[in-house]
A and B are shown apart, each in its own frame.
Chain A
């Protein structure tokens, strides 16, 4: 099989070295096997009639001159995105976010892009249009929508998460689940319209995806804005099989350097033998609440104790618990005012 080659043209300046190391870092992280050729021979530049350096080229495709400063950053970002998108972004982590251009989904997209940046993931954006009519216009609108975010505004090159565009014709629910199944994202981030959710197509999609998605889901209420995540609460009403989720909750607490609170909402005073082994690490709190209503207990708790993210489990052990839990998840997704992370 022919090996892909990325050529980096320049005269050994710091920016050429930086371009080379950035390309290497991304392709390496994506576990894509590319050769990188550094070309610093002026005669070659003349022979190829290069307009300016630094420049880059994939195999024998057109040479892309990168310019300077912001132009360089944006062009290199586009060059890398083009290469990676052909390879489905390799093994880079992904955060999938569906958008329908509504305020709620646009807000979820902004949140997702910031969240993905924080966890070094690619933001995979999906827009689904129901008919082939107006395909060109909608696709153009989608491109414009993405381009307002897909750049680096900080001095650090490629600091902001790269964006993958997915434009599909079909049914949003099916296409979203297809994308989740094929790309196996770290997380699916969706906007939630709150109380009006049942009258809203996108809202019903959220509930359906929560139920069927094999990946974890983060619901963003329409008025929730991205905030530095300093405090995470993981709430549960059944301590069974808790240990297997602690790794995930700790993973996110570490990623954000956040304080973790484990909140056990118990229905009665019964002794829970499973909690004997529950030994959360340092920088964590362990609290218990007595309340038979899990969702309303959490609503009250987060009202009184501001948190940036609330984590709950989707599945319980027993069928009865599972049905109860689905109702809890549904209620929480309708009424939560903080981002709700649903562990699958």
Chain B
């Protein structure tokens, strides 16, 4: 992997998104079925936030015990919207930014996903998993990183 390549070369392009007024149940379904950890929230293609699996689990924490009534929990989740739990003001990158910039951002921060935007429109997403996965496929990855 060449760390000076644009981030667009490793980002996921077909991103699953939600609208801000989608219910938490819809987010739950995606987290459970698609095995992903971050869902960008968009309004007319414009990125307005991101909802992570951690946000979702934090919302649900009161129900994670033996006395939980799943029926009540379902109704509760349907009465909250994604915009109630999403994180706003998130770090973004442009498709032409270099991969090593993303590495620095991940190294310095606690989050694991960066939406890629162009003129405010969502173009893709890159996660720490994408980086590791690309590195694993690339034999000379470590050597290239040392030479940067």
- Residues on A close to B: CB < 8 A? 70, 103, 106-107, 110-111, 114, 144-145, 147-149, 151, 153, 225-228
A-B contact pairs, 20 of them (CB 8 A): A103-B71, A106-B71, A106-B75, A107-B75, A107-B78, A107-B79, A110-B78, A114-B80, A145-B69, A148-B63, A148-B68, A148-B76, A149-B72, A153-B59, A225-B23, A225-B78, A225-B79, A226-B79, A226-B80, A227-B21
Chain B residues near A225 (CB-CB < 8 A) = 23, 78-79
Minimum distance in angstroms from A204 CB to a CB of chain B: 23
Q: Which residues of B are found within 8 Å of A226, using beta-carbon distances?
A: 79-80
List the B side residues contacting A111 at CB < 8 Å.
79
- Per-residue interface assignment for chain B, residues 49 to 78, with 1 indicating a CB less than 8 Å from any chain A CB and 0 otherwise: 000000000110111000111011101101
B81 at the interface (CB under 8 A from A): yes
Most buried by A among B75, B79, B83: B79
Residue from the list B61, B69, B78, B81 in contact with A153, Cβ < 8 A: B61
Q: Is B75 within 8 A of A228, CB to CB?
A: no
Q: Is the CB of A110 within 8 A of B75?
A: yes
Which residue of chain A has the shortest Cβ distance to B20 in the bound complex? A228
Q: How far is the CA of A151 from the CA of B58 in the complex (A)?
A: 12
What's the interface size class on B, roughly? 20 to 34
Residues on the B chain within 8 Å of A70, using CB: 61
A-B pairs, 6 with minimum CB distance = A110-B79, A226-B79, A151-B62, A225-B78, A148-B72, A106-B75
For residue A106, which residues in chain B have a CB less than 8 angstroms away from its CB? Answer: 71-72, 75
Q: Chain B interface (Cβ within 8 Å of chain A)? A: 21, 23, 58-59, 61-63, 67-69, 71-73, 75-76, 78-81, 83
Chain A positions within 8 Å of B67 at CB level: 144, 147
Residues of A within 8 A of B61 (CB): 70, 153
- Complex formed: what's the CA distance from A211 to B58 in Å? 42
Majority secondary structure, B binding face: helix
A106→B75 CA distance, assembly (Å) = 7
Q: How far is the CB of A81 from chain B (nearest CB, A)?
A: 16
A114 touches B79 (CB 8 A): yes
Q: Are the C-beta atoms of A145 and B81 separated by less than 8 Å?
A: no
B58 touches which one: A103, A144, A153, A228 (CB < 8 A)?
Answer: A153
Q: Which of B59, B61, B76, B83 has the most CB of A within 10 A?
A: B76
CB of B31, distance to nearest CB on chain A (Å):
17
Contact of B76 among A103, A110, A147 (CB under 8 A): A110
14 additional A-B pairs beyond A70-B61, A110-B79, beta carbons within 8 Å, are A106-B71, A106-B72, A107-B75, A107-B79, A110-B75, A145-B72, A147-B67, A148-B72, A148-B76, A151-B62, A225-B23, A225-B78, A227-B81, A228-B81
Query: Which of A103, A144, A153 has a CB less than 8 Å from the CB of B75?
Result: A103
A residues less than 8 Å from B23 (CB atoms): 225
A228's partner among B72, B73, B83 (CB-CB below 8 A) is B83
Collect the chain A residues with CB atoms within 8 Å of residue B78's CB. 107, 110, 225
Which residue of A114, A153, A228 contacts B62 across the interface (Cβ within 8 Å)? A153
CB distance from A36 to the nearest CB of B (A): 29
A148 touches B79 (CB 8 A): no
Measured CB to CB, the closest approach of chain B to A125, in angstroms, equals 13
Which residues on A sit within 8 Å (CB–CB) of B76?
Answer: 110, 148-149
Chain B residue nearest to A144 (CB atoms) is B67
Q: Which residues of A contact B71 (CB under 8 A)?
A: 103, 106
- What's the nearest-Cβ distance from chain B to residue A309, in Å? 15
